[in-house]
Structure 1
Amino acid sequence: MAGKPREPFLIGWREWAGLPELCDVPVKAKIDTGARTSAIHAWNINRFEKDGAPWVSFELHPVQKDNRTRIACTAPIHDVREVRSSDGATQTRIVIRTRLKLGGRSWPIELTLARRDQMGFRMLIGRTALKRRVLIDPAKSFLCGRADRN
């Protein structure tokens, strides 16, 4: 018998997000229900093959306005999709699956790799990652706690 689903919890319009399978540095993320897919700022994105399967290597730059902090990551490629960016342009993006940690809870999400140099946040968490898990108070920020406690 499956366990009872957890009640959704309250988050703000921006939160410190953890990506424990990729890095140990919290990322300031914008909660964006207008976006279907979540995205992370990634550089040096390179596809390769490992044991006959498609993988990707990339660098995360998790700290806003700091390009010196770089975290090398690798992950299996889950998908490659056309994604419409905030300026209306369509981009082909690599999609990986990883765990998102918010407010002491964590769950798997799909995350696209994209250059977000001009964006105000290094990470955007879209509605698919949030569905049935959270309630959002658009007047509040950082309801899940400070970066050092995520």
Structure 2
Amino acid sequence: MRKTSVKKEKLIVGRKDKADFPLLRIRNIDVKFDTGAYTSAIHCHYIKEVVKNGKKKIVFRILDPDHSKYHNKLFSASDYRQKVIKNSFGNSETRFVINTEIVIFGNRYPIDLSLSERGNMRNPVLIGRKFIIGKFVIDVSRSNISYREKMKAKKK
């Protein structure tokens, strides 16, 4: 007997969009879909591993004070891991990776984000292949597809 599988239709995204990270209290932040990156990343200006009551955790602040979405909230996570990641210059660096949620096209997805000091980069969030595969197809000639749909739905 032959197995049949139902293929889920992939959503089309542009090279850039805006997304929400509800657990990080960030809405409509610029994201870039980057097929050259395996892991997704978010810019943080403060990242530190601490030990409290004998247990390790990381504390971090998303974005930096110059960013319009910055809110100075100190986040902490005890469920994290460290991973060696090649940066955009090809250099390996060890980063902390957290699991959180992203909302795009009104759908909530789990996503692993590496915490990175990306202050000199144009895009505060990169969405890598690990997240993109199986969900999205990228049309590099377009941008903000999900965000435009969201704004149209709000007007109705």
Could you tell me which of 137, 140, 149 is aligned with 1:138? Answer: 140
Partner of 2:128: 126
Counterpart residue identity of residue 35, structure 2: T
CA distance in 2, matches of 1:62, 1:143: 26
Of 51-60 and 12-21, deviating more is 51-60
Distance 1:66 1:20, change over 3 A: closer
Which moves more between the two structures, 114-123 or 56-65?
56-65
- Between the two proteins, the alignment pairs up a number of residues equal to 147
Looking at secondary structure, tell me which structure has more helix per residue: 2
Q: Is the 8 A contact 2:61 2:75 kept in 1?
A: yes
Cα contact 1:82–1:90 (8 A) shared by 2: yes
- Which 5+ residue runs of structure 2 have no aligned equivalent? 1-5
Q: 1:68 and 1:124, CA in 2 relative to 1: closer, same or farther beyond 3 A?
A: closer
**Equivalent residue number for residue 20 of structure 2:** 18
* Matching residue's letter, 2:88: S
Q: 1:16, 1:146 within 8 Å by CA — same for their partners in 2?
A: no
* Aligned: 1:95 with 2:97: yes
Is the Cα–Cα contact under 8 Å of residues 96 and 114 in structure 2 kept in the other structure? Answer: yes
TM-score, structure 1 as length reference: 0.84
| Offset, 1:55 | 2.0
In our comparison, the structure showing a higher alpha carbon Rg is 2
Q: Say whether the 8 Å CA contact 1:109–1:129 is kept in structure 2.
A: yes
**Which residue is equivalent to 1:112?**
114
1:82 has 2:110 as partner: no
State the 1:79 CA deviation: 1.4
Q: Describe the shift of the 1:117–1:39 C-alpha distance in structure 2 as closer, same or farther (beyond 3 A).
A: same
- Secondary structure of 1:21 counterpart: helix
RMSD: 2.7
- CA displacement at 1:63 relative to structure 2: 8.6
Question: Percent identical across equivalent pairs?
Answer: 29
**Hey, what does 2:45 align to over in structure 1?**
43
